[in-house]
Copies of this chain bind each other. A is one copy, B any other.
Amino acid sequence: MVEQLNDLDATFGALSDPSRRAMLAELTLGERSVSDLAAPLSMSLAGASKHVQVLERAGLVRRRKHGRQQMIALDAARLKRAHDWLDKYRVFWSSAHYALEQALKEEKSDEHGRSA
């Protein structure tokens, strides 16, 4: 269980804000301009622009100039990295592990029941 690369810092940091998660959700529907992404957010354009920059620095989106628009597209590779990281913990939320936890609890009760 070794820490691989710390762009996880940036990835998880970017994902910790609901406005940015909303942007990513919007981007699953296709490329969007910064204004498109800003529209549903009740926030200044400059504010939304900063969120896009955070997503870009985290490598979660790419941008492409198209005239005076900046077209933003999802780049899911880092999401996969985060998903992979979380996947290492799968056993700890799986039913098998809950069963193990129960078994350990019973074992502990037995210890109390016995002499020790």
Binding site for B on A (CB under 8 A): 1-3, 6, 8-13, 15-18, 21-22, 24-25, 28, 74, 76-77, 79-80, 82-83, 85-90, 92-93, 97
Copies in the assembly, this chain: 2
Point out the residues of chain B lying under 8 angstroms from A17, CB to CB. 9
Q: Are A74 and B92 in contact (CB under 8 A)?
A: yes
Point out the residues of chain B lying under 8 angstroms from A85, CB to CB. 21
Of the candidates B16, B74, B89, which one forms a contact with A12 in the assembled complex, judged by CB atoms under 8 Å apart? B16
- Per the bound structure, the CA–CA distance linking A4 and B3 in Å amounts to 29
Of the candidates B12, B18, B77, B97, which one forms a contact with A6 in the assembled complex, judged by CB atoms under 8 Å apart? B18
Point out the residues of chain B lying under 8 angstroms from A10, CB to CB. 16
